[in-house]
Amino acid sequence: MKNYLKLVTLSTLLFFALITEAKEPKIVTEIDSKSMVFELEAPSKGTSVKLYDNQGNIIYFESVSGGEAFAKRFDLNKLELGNYYLKVDDSVKEITYTLLLNATDVAVIGRNENHKPVFVREEGKLLMNLLNLEGNAVTVSVLDGENRTLFSQNIDGNTVIEKAFNFENALKDSYTVVVKYGKDTFYETVVVE
């Protein structure tokens, strides 16, 4: 068990290194212009960029492959005045920018960043790390194929949450690890055959 805790700790350190190394997205707006440029340097595989209106309708969507820099110019001239949301989502975090489109220009008026749990599978085990900078209450549960709760733990105030689940001797079934964090819920399924 100590070896697995060491592995979880090492995974957490690697997780922090990846987060601090990642380049932040950049939004460039121009004075007296209803356009903006969004830049993302070296996005990870599976990154998506979405632009939403105030009612939650997706106006723009693009899946960005890893490696190369991504840049997109948005011309918002034909959109109604009001709030819009630009969401950048990858495997580690989700960043949502609140944009205000007024009569003369567009401005970034807010930024919200949510970290996601990172799951690593290794030899019948599932390791989970979550960076919880806000100190939100987190609930971690394991459900079986019939949605019966096999394990549940509430964690309050921790900034780093690490859990290791051993499925080596589990019965043949489909298990779901559920992580409730703030308003979000994340799922990871493990099938034991």
Q: What is the pLDDT of residues 151-178, one digit of tens each?
A: 999 999 889 999 999 999 999 999 999 9
Domain covering 116-192: architecture? Sandwich (2.60)
65 has pLDDT over 80: no
The pLDDT of 32-50, averaged and rounded, is 89
| DSSP alpha helix (H) spans, the chain | 2-21
What is the reported pLDDT for 21? 47
Q: What is the pLDDT of residues 109-134, one digit of tens each?
A: 999 988 899 999 998 899 999 998 88
| Sequence ranges of the chain with CATH classification 2.60.40.3080 | 14-113, 116-192
Domain covering 14-113: architecture? Sandwich (2.60)
What is the reported pLDDT for 84? 97
The pLDDT of 182-187, averaged and rounded, is 89
Where b means 16+ CB within 10 Å and e means fewer, 153-164 reads eebeeeeebbbb
